[in-house]
Chain A
Amino acid sequence: MSASQPRTETSPRISDEIRKTTCYMCACRCGIDVHLKKGADGKKHVAYIEGNRDHPVNHGVLCAKGAAGIMQHLSPARLRAPLRRTGPRGSGQFEEISWDEAMEIAEGWLRPLRETAPEKLAFFTGRDQSQSFTGLWAQAFGTPNYAAHGGFCSVNMAAAGIYTMGGSFWEFGQPDWERTRLFLLFGVAEDHDSNPMKAGIATLKARGAKVIGVNPIRTGYNAVADEWVGITPGSDGLLVLSLVHCLLKAGKIDLDYLARFTNAPVLVDADPRSPQFGLLLRGESGRQMVIDRRTGRPADFDAEGVEPDLRGKLRRAGVTHRSVFQHIAEMYLSNDYAPERVAGRTGLDANRIHRLAAEIARAAFDEPVVIEQPWTDFRGVRHERMVGRPVSFHAMRGVSAHSNGFQTCRALHLLQILLGSVEVPGGTRFRPPYPKPATAHPLPHARSAPGQPLGGPHLGYPQGPDDLCLTDEDTPARIDKAFSWEAPLSAHGMMHMVISNAHAGDPYRIDTLFLYMANMAWNSSMNTTQVMQMLTDTDADGEYVIPRIICADAYSSEMVAFADLVLPDTTYLERHDCISLLDRPISDADAAADAIRWPVVEPERPGAAGVRPFQDVLCDLGAQLSLPGFTEADGSARYANYADYIQNHERRPGIGPLAGWRMGESGVAHGRGGPNAAQIDSYIANGGFWRGEIAPDARFFKPWNMAYQDWAVRTGLIDGPQPYIFSLWCEPLRRFQLAAEGHGRRQPPEHLRARIRETFSPLPIWYPPLGDDQRAPDAYPLHALSQRPMAMYHSWGSQNAWLRQIHGVNPLYLPTALWQEGGFAEGDWARVSSPHSQITVPVAHMAALNRDTVWTWNAIGKRRGAWALHREAPEATQGFLLNHLIHELLPPRGDGLRWANSDPITGQAAWFDLRVRIEKVAAPRVSQPAHQAQASPVGRGPRDVAQKVTR
C-alpha cells in the first residue's frame, strides 16, 4: 500500500571489525564477538557484544551480563591510575600516583618480607581466572599464604567429588544432556556453567526428559523444572541417604558397575581392636585388595581379568576384613534412613521420597542407554557396547555451602554410583582434565623459609594427618588455618578466615595483605561490618593491626576503599588472560578445551596514569623481587608480560598454560609440545579458543577406559595412565578419624577430637548443620538464604547502567504463612536477627518457597559511595547484604572455644547455615546497618547515558 511507508535501512553495516575473545562476567567463560566501530575520533570503539556461534561453551548464546559487558567495560567506576591512601582506611580518600611510584612502594613493602619472613605476605585472590599463575608467583615468593576464593565458594563440592570419584560437579562435571532421561538438580540457582545449564535444560525439555529441582526456592531453573522438591535447607543429605536406603532395599542398584569400577568390593579392616581398623586392605604391591570371584582368593583390585566380589570377606592374621559393600548395606539399610524417619527434618512427605526413589529406579534401570561402541577397561576386559543409566544429577552451593556439605555431597555421589550413573551414557560426565583422583593431585605445601620459594604448590589433597600443614609445634602453618585440624581437607584454602585470623594474630601476625579481585570488605566476607572494623583497627601504637593492604582491582569497589595501595587493573577487553587446562578450562565431556582473552581495545584512561593488566604487574614485580621463575640468570625479567608468560612458560617440559598450537617435533602439535611464538595468534585466528576432541571409544567410562587414559597422556593432562576406582569408602577420612580415636603420630587437639570422630565418617553420613545444636530450636526458626540473580554478578554488576535497572534493590522474600502471621503487607520492612547480629530490610511475599525459609538476591546491597554510584542509589538505601548476619565463627561452645562457621572437613564457609527470626518494624530511612559513605576516587557516573558509537 503505500507510497508513504518510510523506507527502512534493513542492511546497515553492523561494525567495522569483529574481534573474538572470551567473556569475563562470570566463570562460565563464553565466547564473544566484540563488534568494533570507528567513532568520530577515528578510533575503533566497542559497539556491541554478542555470543560467538562457533564457541564450544555457549554456541552463540549470551546471558544478560555477557551482553551488558560493554557497560562494564565503559563503567564510570573504572579505576584510572594507581592510588595511594591519603585518608584513614575505609574513607576512600586517595591520591593518584605514577606506576613507577606504585611499583616502588610495592617492592619496598614486599622485599623485606621475602628476605625475612615470607609468610608475612598473605596473597589471596577472588574472581581470579589465572590461579595457576598467581599461585606460581606466590610459590616463588615463598609465602604459604596463598589461595583463591574456592574455600568460601564450593570446596565441599570440589573436594567431595575428587575424594569420591576423582571429579566433581563443580566446573568439571556435566550431565549427559543428549541422553539423560531424568535430571535432578540440587541447590542450584545459576552456577558457573550457566549458559550450558540453560541450554541443557532446554534440550532435556525438548526431548521430554524430566527435570526435578530440589531447592527450598522455586525460581529460575527450579521454576521450569517439571517437579519441585521444596526441601528444608541443610537436609539434602538425609533425603539422599533415604533414597539410597529405598534403592538398596529394593535391590535397585548396579551391582556390576559397583563391582568393577568402585571400591565397593575392596576389603576393609573390620576389627575394632586393630590399629588399621577401617583402613583398606593392601597387598604387597600396595594396591587395594578384593576377593576375585573366579578364584575366591584375594587379589589386587586391578589385576588383569579380576572379577571383584561385592560379598568379599577375609580373615588374615586374626583380623576380619569385609567388603566396603557390606558396610554400605549394613549402614544404609538401617531404618534410621527410612523415609518415614527423615520426612520431618527434610520438610517433605515420606511418600514423596518413596516415589522419588521409584522414579529414579525406573529411569535408571528400565530403559538403559546403549551406545554401540566397544571399549576396553583397565583390567584388559573388552566391553562390546557402552551401557548407561540415564539418570543424572547436578548440585552446587545449596548443597555445598553448609557445614554438612562435604558429607552431603559425598552422599549424592554415593547415590549416583550405586545407580551406576557416573561416566556412563546418560549419566554425569567429567570434563578434562578430570577425571583425576585425589591421589594424583599434589599435596599441600606450607614450609616457608626466608628468601626461598615454597617447596611446591600451596593447595592439594591430603591423604591423612601426615599431610597437614602444621608447624613443628603442631600449630597451623597457614594464616587461614587451611589444612590444619580445623579443616584438614581444605583443598582450596579458607579465604574467608584470612582477615579475622590476621586481625586476631592467630596463628600469627602478618604484615601485608595482598588482595586481587576480591571484595573482602563487602560481599565476599562473612560478618561484613566487623570485617570493615578489623581492617581499620589499630593497635596500641596507633598502627593498623593489619599493617599493609595492597589491592588489585579494576573498579572503585568497597574493598578498594580499605587499601593502602591500589594497583588498577584493566577491564577484560583490554588484556590477555588464559583460561588454562592447568586451572579452570572450558572443556566439555567430549573434549579438552582452553581459551584466551586478548586486548581487543587498548586501555585508555585519558588524563590519568592509566591502568595495567595485573598479571603484567605480577611479572614485573616478580622480576623486581628476583623471584625464581620470574627472573633470568642475569637478573633480567623472565617474562616481558603475561602474554609472554602464556606462550613461553612451561609447567613441565612440553606442558604450558595453553594446550593448543604448541611446537611438536614435526611442526604444530596440540597438548604436548614446546612453546610457539605464534600460539596466541593462532588462538585469535581460531576465535580465541582451542578444542581437542576425545575419540568416540574414549568418551565414557573415562577413569577405567584405556583409550581415554592414553588420550589424556597424549594431551598432557597426565604423565602416565592412572586408572582408579571410585572411593565409596573414603580412606583419608578414616585416617583422620583414627587419629581422633587416639592412633598415630599426629593427633588432633582435644577440643576437636569428638567433632572429627563424628563427622569424618568414611561412608557418607548426615549430621545437622553445626551450630544448630547450640541454639534453642525456636529462637531462630527460619533458614535465611541468598541466590545469585541471573542478571547480576556478585557485587560488580551494580556499576552496570543496564543491569542495575533490573536488580537495583533486593527484598527479603517471606513464605506465605510467615507473611500472613506476621501481618506483613507490600512495602513493609522487617528486622531480621541472627544469633550474631541484626539487619533491617524491605520484605516481599513469595509462595513458591519452603515454609521455613526466607531469602534474598545476593550482593545487590552496596556501600554508599562505592561503584561511582550516587550516594542515595537504591542499592545503598534499600539494598542489603545477609552477610552482616553471618559470623565467621560460631557462638562459643561449652568449652568457651569458637568453631569456625565452616564445614569441619573442608573449611567451606557455611553461608547457608544461617538461622534468623524476623519481626515487622517501621521502615527506617535506609536499610540497616548503614555504613558511612566512602569517597569515590573516580567521581560519579554521568547523569544520562545514551550508548551508541557514531561516526
Chain B
Amino acid sequence: MTDLPPALQVKLGLVIDLDTCVGCHACVIACKGWNTQGDAGPLADADAYGKAPEGAFLNRVHSFELTPETGPAQIVHFPKSCLHCETAPCVTVCPTGASYKRVEDGIVLVNETDCIGCGLCAWACPYGAREMDPVEKVMKKCTLCVDRIYNETLPEVDRVPACVRTCPAGARHFGDLGDPDSAVSQLVAERGGYDLMPDQETGPVNKYLPPRPRDAEIDILAPFLEPVAEEPRGFMAWLDRTLERI
C-alpha cells in the first residue's frame, strides 16, 4: 500500500552521534549479518570473490573531510541507513504497494514478494537508503530490525537493532522519536539533533547529532605555565622549599 499512513504517534528510528562515530563499519557488517539470515535475507553479494564485488548492504558509512577556515582539517565518519521518513517518497512512488510505511511505528518496509524490482523507490529516496539485491533482484532496505525490536524470543535488552547493539563507540541510539520524553528525543533536544536534506521534505525520523567543536581554543584560555626556576640550581632551591612543606 503506497499511501502513507496519517500522522503517527510512534515514530521509531535511530539517532546517530557524529561526535563519537569512529568509522569502524561495525554497524555495517552487523546489519549485513543479521539481515542476511533474517526476513529480508539473504542479502546477496555478486562477484563476491571477483574483480568487482557488489553486494546489498542496508547501512553504509561514508567519511567526509571538513576544511574549516581556521584550524586543521577534520574527518567526520558518517553512517547512513534508511531514515524512515514521515513523508517517504519511496513509498508513494512504488507501483506495486511492495513499499509501505507501518502504521504502528512508522517503519518503512518492502514486501519482497510484491516487489517487481523497478528501482523507482531507490530513485525517489534522496539518501541512498535502498539497494537492489544483485541476485534476487528485489529492493532491500533497512528494516529497523523489525524482527529484533519486538522479538519475544530475545531477551528484552536485545530488542534493539543489530547495528545499535554492536556499535562499540555507542554512536547509535534507538527509540521512539514521536515521544518527546523518550531518551532519544531528549538526546536530540540536548545535542541539537538535525535532519538530513531538509529541503527534500521527507521528514526523516532518524536524527543526526553534530560533532562537538574540535580543536577548540583551549589555547586562549590556558595560560602558559609559570616557571619556578630557569635553570637546574634554581630548580633545586624550589625543590628544597617545596619539600620542606610536605
Contact = CB atoms under 8 A, between A and B. Distances in A.
**Touching chains A and B, CB distance < 8 Å:** yes
Interface of A: 1-2, 4-6, 8-14, 35, 37, 47-51, 53, 58, 60-68, 70, 76, 194-195, 198-199, 201-202, 205-206, 218-221, 223-228, 230, 246-252, 255-256, 293, 309-311, 326, 329-330, 333, 351-352, 354-355, 357-359, 361-362, 790-791, 799, 801-806, 808, 816, 846-849, 868-870, 872-874, 940-949
Contact of B65 (A65, A352, A846): A846
Contacts of A354: 224-225
B150 to A, nearest CB: 4
A874 B51 contact: yes
A355 B38 contact: no
A803 B1 CA distance: 36
A310 B242 CA distance: 11
A808 B53 contact: yes
A128 B45 CA distance: 31
Give 6 closest A-B pairs by Cβ, nearest first: A941-B49, A250-B225, A847-B73, A946-B42, A198-B168, A948-B42
Interface string B11-39: 00000000111111110111011101111
A948 B150 contact: no
Given A361-B225, A941-B49, A10 B236 contact: no
B5 to A, nearest CB: 5
Nearest to A51: B166
A249 B46 contact: no
Interface string B112-145: 0010000000000000000000111000000000
B77 A223 contact: yes
B39 A218 contact: no
A458 to B, nearest CB: 35
Given A47-B37, A249-B229, A947 B239 contact: no
Contact of B22 (A12, A224, A293, A802): A224
A255 B242 contact: yes
Describe B's contact surface by its main secondary structure. Answer: loop
30 contacts: A1-B103, A4-B1, A8-B39, A8-B147, A50-B33, A50-B165, A223-B23, A223-B76, A224-B77, A227-B218, A228-B72, A228-B214, A247-B225, A250-B226, A251-B229, A293-B243, A311-B243, A355-B219, A355-B224, A359-B222, A801-B48, A847-B67, A870-B49, A873-B51, A874-B52, A943-B46, A944-B47, A945-B55, A946-B36, A947-B41
Given A50-B34, A201-B169, A947-B37, 19 more contacts: A2-B5, A6-B111, A9-B39, A10-B151, A11-B152, A14-B154, A50-B162, A61-B26, A61-B168, A62-B30, A63-B24, A198-B22, A227-B214, A228-B72, A249-B235, A790-B23, A848-B73, A942-B49, A945-B48
Contacts of A247: 225
A61 B222 contact: no
B198 interface: no
Interface residues of B, number: 101
A849 B72 CA distance: 9
A2 B101 CA distance: 11
Nearest to A792: B25
Contacts of A206: 170
Nearest to B109: A8
B109 A64 contact: no
A354 B246 CA distance: 28
B75 A223 contact: yes
Contact of B147 (A9, A330, A355): A9
B212 to A, nearest CB: 7
A58 B168 contact: yes
Contacts of B218: 227, 355, 359
Interface in B209-246: 211-212, 214-216, 218-219, 222-232, 235-236, 238-240, 242-243, 246
Contacts of B21: 224
B208 interface: no
B102 A362 contact: no
Contacts of A948: 36-37, 41-42
A198 B38 CA distance: 28
B146 interface: yes
Contacts of A802: 29, 32-33, 45, 55
Nearest to A61: B168
Contacts of A199: 168-170
Contacts of A874: 51-52
B100 interface: yes
B200 interface: no
Contacts of A48: 33-34, 37
B44 interface: yes
Nearest to B74: A848
Contact of B225 (A51, A256, A330, A357): A357
B196 interface: no
B54 to A, nearest CB: 7
B177 interface: no
Given A202-B170, A228-B215, A333-B235, A790 B151 contact: no
Contacts of A848: 65, 72-75
A632 B212 CA distance: 64
A925 B236 CA distance: 67
Nearest to B228: A251
